[in-house]
Amino acid sequence: MSDRKFDSEEMPPSAQDLRDLQEAMKQKTTRATEAKEKSHFDLVNDFMFKHVTENEIKIVRRLVDNALRDGKKEALVYQFSSDFCTDSGRAINNGADNWPETLQGKAKEFYERYEKYGRPQGYKLKAVVVNFPSGMPGDVGFFLNWESDKPKL
C-alpha cells in the first residue's frame, strides 16, 4: 500500500480495511513463524531420533572421493550444530579427550561408525568447532583424515 501514489481527492481506506490488512499481515507472520518452528522441530527430531541413512553414508564417501581427487588427505564429512552436544560444544572447542561423550543423535552414531569401521582401517577423526556466531561455538565439523602417521623423509 505504501508504494502507490495517493490522490488527495480519493477516499482513504476505511479503518476496517486497515484492521483487515493488519490482521492479514499478522496471520502471514504467524504462518511463517510456525513453518520455521516446524522446520526446526523436524531437523531436531531427525538428528536426535533417526538413524544415519545409507544416503548420508554415500555423501560421506563422495566427500572423501572429492577430497582425494583434489589431492587432499582430509575431508569435512559431517557438520552439525554444537547445540546438539550435551555441553554445547565446549569439550570439542577445548580439545578435551572426552569430547565423544558429549555427542548425541546422529553425531554420536557417526562417531560410533567411525570407531567400528574407520579407525580399524587407519582413518583419524577430529571434531572442530568451525564457526563462532556471536562469539559462541556454532557448528561442529567432523574431519576424516587418511594421512600416514609415518614421518616424511
pLDDT for the residue 153: 63
As separate numbers, helices (DSSP H) first and strands (DSSP E) second, the chain gives: 4, 3
Separation between Cα atoms, residue 132 and residue 38, nearest integer Å: 25
Separation between Cα atoms, residue 68 and residue 36, nearest integer Å: 37
Grid look-up 600416514 returns 148
Separation between Cα atoms, residue 145 and residue 122, nearest integer Å: 9
pLDDT for the residue 140: 97
pLDDT for the residue 90: 95
Q: Collapsing DSSP states into helix, strand and coil, what is residue 79? A: strand
Strand partners, 75: 144
Sheet holding 74-81, edge to edge: 74-81, 139-145, 124-129
Q: Where are the beta strands (DSSP E) in the chain?
A: 74-81, 124-129, 139-145
pLDDT at 115 over 80: yes
Q: Collapsing DSSP states into helix, strand and coil, what is residue 148? A: coil
Q: What is the pLDDT of residues 42-86, one digit of tens each?
A: 666 787 889 899 999 999 999 999 999 999 999 999 999 999 999
Nearest to 108 by CA among 51, 56, 37, 40: 51
Rounded to 5 degrees, φ, ψ at 79 are -140, 140
pLDDT for the residue 45: 73
Query: Longest Cα pair distance anywhere in the chain, in angstroms?
Result: 88
Give me the residue spans of the domains in the chain. 54-145
pTM of structure: 0.73
Length of the chain (residues) = 153
